[in-house]
Structure 1
Amino acid sequence: MYVRVKRQKTTVFLQVNPTDTVATLKSAIGDLIQQEPSTQQLYRGSTALTDTQTLAELGVHDDDELGLALKKEDGTWEALEIMRHEAPSDGVAE
């Protein structure tokens, strides 16, 4: 199955298994975005996920969306911010 991991204007698509843990997912994300797993916090909705939980335990399904926040230099987490893409305008004024 696939999950979408979103942070600000970036979306990462990952192939995962229901038995994968959040820690496994963070490791795969880290390989793609050059961020250590310890500097990542994943969310499902507004709930922070625990590294030891499996995707099946969390009820994550194919094509689900998870949020990603990164740790700032001062040790706090950035605000969870996911930009939604809007359909392009056709340029016609109403």
Structure 2
Amino acid sequence: MTRAPLVLLDWENWGRLPVGYDLGLLHAYSLAAPSTAARIRREFGHVLDTDAGRTGELIALAQLLQACSRCVHPTLAPLTAHRAHELTHTPVPTP
């Protein structure tokens, strides 16, 4: 079975950001769709599973949790907090 190539276009954050930020944010927004989140981890693990990738992902998760505290994407708050806990091994309060 041939899989379609995964193509990403990101126009949200221009400038210098840590490696893994965009992919971490994409992964965080997909957490409510587990099969999509799994595919993102599979396709981009070579970036996300590095120290720099984890740092970028944590920054993306922190920004998303901050948005969740302002009632933006409230259903993502517990999923994002859980992912941050997986990365840091530290409980993260949800908004």
Of structures 1 and 2, the one with the larger relative CO (CA 8 A, separation 6+) is 1
TM-score bracket for this pair, using the shorter chain length:
under 0.3
More strand by share: 1
Instruction: Give the TM-score, by structure 2 length.
Output: 0.26
Q: TM-score, normalised by structure 1?
A: 0.27
Between structures 1 and 2, the one with greater helix share: 2
